[in-house]
Chain A
């Protein structure tokens, strides 16, 4: 295919200024990367060294106190003639974080400069200006999305704990060994099974329930508009708020659901405190929240299906089931894929409703993966173990998403 040469950006010959800028960007970029790397290592690898300094400070404080001098305030320590600041003789997590975070920002700035140096050589100045406009957003994306992922991997190979994160050591694959071959394996498989079960049912409710409701509410009159709004509204109520309300709806003794069931002679279970019904209890809340959203998405897609198809099918004698099977369903395939992928990822990461309603219990009956990660971090304080679970979870999600997208490219028809 030919392109109009007038639409291409004019190629400006490389001037001496641009060449100088290219070299300077390389030099400053490399310098910043080295400084950042050094700073990162200083904060990360030398924690035991910092701790030994802190011990010296503690000893000095104790000596001062024994001599009758109440010591307070910030302390300046001279270690090998170099001033290093600590707070009250303690190596604070803030200090280490400050050093490492600053180093990461410096490193990223350095990498950005190098990237610009490379791009400056490869493309025209006009294209370069476009790139510069995008770079601030790209920088924040790298800093707040990809750096935490990389940092997560780093933490997963340490023995870091929440309560003593300044004194960790690198422990190789110890956490992964615990996860796959130690006592963690049992809980991992259990959590994976619970998460998969939850995901399956949320997908089922979303896709099947959403589509059925969309078919039901597809008439465009005022009454149905109001009903659609009512069904859709739960999506906009905060999960935690809904969860607290559902705790009481599902209460075994005093809940309205069991009261209603007993009115028709059914003895309802203690939904959230029974291992076999707790996940169902959470799914009741989930269904209430998500089905209206799915309905709206399906409805908007249904409106987009040309009426000609249905008219042609009707002339050919197709009944309503056939029209749904051979026109509506295939035409909604891209929408179904969209809902499948977004719901799949969201439901695999379910946390809020589980945390509020059961905290992962009873026992471990609703201990979905993210809840387990949370409990490992904030209940057991095992941050490194939590990170190792997160890394594996991330890999699983990535794999499933790639698999889904590849399958969808073959199975979903986007043509209308």
Chain B
């Protein structure tokens, strides 16, 4: 049967031209233009221009077209459509949550042969970041700009009012009571904190550090409706109802939350360390940055890697891949790595950078970043289950129903658990 079908296929593919070529290396020998799809907004243009001009100084054969696509979600949509149509860019930025599903679908070029052929020092990233950019033992992308979940707070107010940032989830209660200010009519004048509810990444560690598994080890069930999850959800809900906290949700949630912080409408916010520079630049008070509240055991302070990775789509042409690999190596050099870190709020990702004098000087200038980086051993790869993103989005919708619309906690979490189970069973 196979033979006949193969003949049928061959009849249709008669005009196809195929060839075998065993390339001796991944070198670029002819001028080529490559596209790089990224998510850097306009304010990052100076950094982009600096990086590309530096690259062109040593690589005149390769012209890089940096194309802003939009948010990570929009890049994902565009990349999926591009893969389906076969018209892909040579390089693409992706959020750290996507590598597992991209790896499972074979969207990314496996970089191991390139790494081996060019002697690229992958070990310099450290085990955590290598795991975060691998799938089933294969390196499918490289860490690009890495961040983690943090809390930003008004350090001037903290010093003046004696507010201590919480280190565990249960300490949040006392912290919020002290940090929240009310008007005479009982409405909130200044929230204790704002939970960033538009992306599950910002709050998931509050659950995970207290023992909640979004997907259990069996890969088929969840304890998102278990005792620990219900406890954390009830607590957050209580704080929101009391006016201690605000749940930022919706399309304009991120700018709303930032503006609220800058206007003094909230004492603190949950956000990403990558926006450290922006928070500092826009605030007329000193901005503090600290690690997320850990588990109630007082010992678990895990966070998950955020920011972006960079990948080469598997169905780009080999010439495009070769040029992309050259640019990719340049983008992740220690020099560029530190340049981005210094001009944004992303972490230096190379171990060799951390030991350098330039990095020491950088941390001297940014002591808050130093505090967070000292905790960086707690940064973990994202969940590697390809269904995680789908499941976590179901969770995000459910929490919005509870926190924004006031839906009953247990009923919604039970419904969520049922949907998650069905989703996982259908994978």
Contact = CB atoms under 8 A, between A and B. Distances in A.
Q: Which of B85, B86, B260, B407 has the most CB of A within 10 A?
A: B86
Contact of A70 (B23, B418, B419): B23
A381 interface: yes
Contacts of A71: 22-23, 113
Size range of the chain B interface in the assembly: 35 or more
A379 B24 CA distance: 40
Nearest to A278: B250
Given A42-B8, A183-B418, A90 B80 contact: no
A76 B21 CA distance: 9
B249 A73 contact: no
A87 B253 CA distance: 43
B22 A72 contact: yes
B405 A99 contact: no
A253 B249 contact: no
Given A39-B12, A84-B13, A361 B249 contact: yes
B252 A93 contact: no
Contacts of B101: 163, 381
A278 B170 CA distance: 34
Interface stretch (B104-112, B202-210, B300-308, B362-370): B104-112
Interface string B231-272: 000000000000000000111110010011000010000000
A75 B9 contact: no
B405 A82 contact: no
Contact of A90 (B106, B397, B419): B106
Contact of A362 (B3, B117, B249, B422): B249
Contacts of B84: 93-94, 97, 162, 165
A83 interface: yes
B384 to A, nearest CB: 15
Interface string A243-255: 0000110011110
B335 to A, nearest CB: 27
Interface residues of A, number: 65
A357 interface: yes
Contact of A94 (B20, B85, B249): B85
Contacts of B419: 183
A74 B7 CA distance: 21
A164 B106 CA distance: 8
Contact of B6 (A84, A273, A379, A381): A84
A174 to B, nearest CB: 9
B19 interface: yes
Interface in B109-139: 109, 112-113, 116-117
A357 B6 CA distance: 49
B25 interface: yes
A80 B6 CA distance: 8
B22 A365 contact: no
Nearest to A356: B251
Interface of A: 35, 38-39, 41-42, 46, 49, 64-65, 69-76, 79-80, 82-85, 87-88, 90, 92-94, 97, 99, 102-103, 161-165, 178, 182-183, 247-248, 251-254, 272-276, 356-359, 361-365, 378-381
25 contacts: A41-B8, A42-B5, A70-B24, A70-B26, A70-B117, A73-B318, A75-B20, A79-B2, A82-B6, A87-B314, A87-B315, A88-B109, A90-B315, A93-B83, A99-B13, A163-B102, A183-B418, A183-B422, A247-B252, A253-B259, A273-B250, A274-B404, A275-B405, A359-B251, A364-B397
Given A72-B22, A254-B256, A379-B73, 16 more contacts: A42-B5, A49-B2, A65-B112, A71-B23, A72-B322, A73-B23, A74-B318, A83-B10, A94-B84, A163-B80, A163-B104, A163-B107, A183-B422, A253-B265, A273-B253, A359-B251
